[in-house]
């Protein structure tokens, strides 16, 4: 599948190094460690720990329950808008809360509610939880589920919704959001995009492309912390008809009225479910500060340059097969015999990536804290380990 027609997500050309500012000093990364696992868990911004001390000691410890009316209650929408800026969403269309899996369920159930169509199409190489949730939704809604490659979806008028990953979690391949969204809409189907491996990587244009729903996690390239709450995007024109299948009290029009019948909020709040996990949510809020002055187009060029540099040295020094295509996210995946053992040795030598059985090494490059020197040295250590 060809890449999107956008100058910031093609193959990199000349890069002005002076304009690509690395913010490594803003992150807590141990001395001597080359951290290339931002596609699994982002590194912590330094100021998050101090901010959380204030949350625990003052907001919780001193203000106690009063903090709910001093910013806690609105946090899911406020933080959602901060993420919305990074994914091409106008304010009031993204809310933070729950896990990625729960938000996939909400989006898919919302998409198939009341449909007379008969199938859900799921990216056959999807991250497993997306596939598991899609199977559950198909079972609950009485639909069939069909796995297909993004390059050959074969959509028909039977297709109710298509669930796609923007970036393939194993190979790092970037799929064409514009073309695939148009393909789904061409047969009257809706589309749900998983942005777990693209949020914080490249400019995304959800509103401009007419995306129906999107979900994503915040603990990868957004650096929100382990298990930080996920997000869901529901465009304004769909909010009035979006039926959250998990009708929790936080999504109610008047949650503190304690009414026996559920009446959803008219806006994005209806995508909320239960009481938000405030500590984790406010850690994410603090982590998002590092994105306030980031130019996503510039960041995208930096990510492409880093991954191209690493790829070049891996191919030159190791002879291993790089399975990541040119149209990619911020990840390089390498096929390697005994990948688990090799990754353990890399980690022992200070290069932290991860592997996916049986034979894939994954290296995720976060341009905010990974340098050219990191990319070259990591390739050299990989060559030494696999020699």
Burial 346-361 (b: 16+ CB within 10 A, else e): beeeebbbbbeeebbb
Catalytic site residue from 27, 35, 105, 127: 127
Please pick, among 176, 194, 354, 374, the residue that the annotation labels catalytic: 194
- Decide: helix, strand or coil at residue 141: helix
Q: Say whether 45 counts as a known binding-site residue.
A: no
Helix (H) or strand (E) holding 344: helix 339-348
Q: Which of 103, 10, 364, 153 is nearest to 164 (CA)?
A: 153
> How far apart, in whole angstroms, are the C-alpha atoms of residue 83 and residue 259?
32
275 carries a ligand binding annotation: yes
Radius of gyration of the CA atoms of the chain, in A: 21
Verify whether residue 363 is a known catalytic residue. no
State yes or no: is 127 an active-site residue. yes
| Among 82, 270, 311, 362, the one annotated catalytic | 362
The answer to whether 130 is a known ligand-binding residue is yes
- The pair phi, psi for residue 98, each rounded to 5°, is 65, -170
| Residues near 174 by beta carbon (within 8 Å), at least 6 away in sequence | 3, 4, 9, 166, 167, 198, 202, 327, 328, 329
Catalytic residue among 82, 117, 220, 302: 220
Look up 78 and say whether it is catalytic: no
Q: Is 341 annotated as a binding residue?
A: no
Contacts of 19 (CB under 8 A, 6+ apart): 298
Q: Is 197 annotated as a binding residue?
A: yes
The counts of H helices and E strands in the chain are: 11, 13
Residue 219 annotated in ligand binding: yes
Task: Round to whole Å and give the CA distance between 305 and 99.
Answer: 32
Cβ 199 vs Cβ 265: under 8 Å:
no
Q: Annotated binding residue at 129? A: yes
User: How far apart, in whole angstroms, are the C-alpha atoms of residue 57 and residue 273?
Assistant: 27
Is 307 marked as a binding-site residue? no
The C-alpha atoms of residue 273 and residue 284 are separated, in whole angstroms, by: 19
**Strand 360-364 and strand 354-356: pairing?**
antiparallel
Secondary structure (3-state) at 123: strand
- In angstroms, the CA 64 to CA 42 distance is 30
Q: Do the annotations mark residue 285 as ligand-binding?
A: no
DSSP 3-state helix, strand, coil percentages of the chain (rounded to 5)?
A: 40, 15, 45
CA distance 334 to 172: 10
C-alpha distance from residue 298 to each of 122, 290, 368 (Å):
32, 15, 11
As annotated, the binding site for pyridoxal 5'-phosphate includes: 100-101, 127-130, 194, 197, 219, 249, 275
As annotated, the binding site includes: 100-101, 127-130, 194, 197, 219, 249, 275
Q: Annotated active-site positions, please?
A: 127, 194, 219-220, 362
């Amino acid at each position: 599948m060809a890449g999107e027609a956008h100058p910031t997500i093609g193959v990199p050309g000349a890069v002005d190094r002076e304009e690509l500012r690395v913010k490594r000093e803003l992150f807590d990364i141990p001395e001597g460690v080359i951290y290339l696992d931002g596609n699994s868990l982002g590194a912590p911004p330094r100021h998050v720990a101090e901010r959380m001390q204030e949350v625990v000691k003052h907001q919780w410890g001193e203000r106690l329950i009063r903090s709910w009316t001093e910013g806690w209650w609105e946090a899911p929408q406020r933080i959602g808008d901060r993420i919305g800026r990074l994914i091409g969403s106008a304010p009031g269309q993204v809310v933070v809360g729950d896990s990625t899996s729960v938000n996939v369920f909400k989006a898919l159930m919302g998409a198939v509610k009341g449909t007379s169509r008969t199938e859900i199409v799921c990216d056959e190489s999807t991250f497993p939880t997306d596939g598991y949730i899609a199977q559950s939704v198909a079972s609950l809604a009485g639909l069939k589920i069909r796995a297909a490659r993004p390059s050959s979806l074969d959509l028909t008028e039977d297709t109710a919704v298509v669930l796609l990953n923007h970036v393939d979690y194993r190979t790092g391949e970037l799929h064409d959001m514009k073309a695939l969204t148009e393909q789904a809409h061409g047969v009257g189907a809706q589309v749900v995009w998983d942005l777990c491996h693209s949020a914080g990587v490249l400019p995304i244009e959800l509103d401009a492309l007419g995306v129906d729903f999107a979900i994503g996690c915040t603990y990868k390239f957004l650096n929100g912390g382990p298990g930080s709450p996920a997000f869901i995007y529901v465009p304004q024109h769909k909010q009035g008809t979006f039926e959250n299948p998990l009708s929790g009290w936080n999504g109610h029009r008047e949650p503190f009225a304690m009414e026996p019948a559920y009446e959803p909020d008219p806006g994005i709040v209806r995508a909320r479910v239960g009481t938000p996990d405030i500590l984790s949510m406010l850690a994410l809020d603090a982590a998002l500060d590092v994105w306030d002055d980031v130019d996503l187009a510039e960041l995208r060029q930096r990510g492409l340059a880093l991954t191209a540099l690493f790829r070049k040295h891996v191919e030159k020094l190791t002879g291993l097969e790089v399975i990541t295509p040119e149209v990619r996210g911020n990840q390089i995946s390498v096929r390697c015999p005994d990948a688990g053992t090799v990754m353990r040795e890399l980690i022992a030598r200070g290069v932290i990536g991860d592997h996916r059985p049986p034979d894939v090494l994954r290296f995720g490059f976060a341009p905010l804290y990974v340098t050219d020197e990191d990319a070259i040295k990591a390739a050299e250590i990989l060559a030494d380990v696999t020699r």
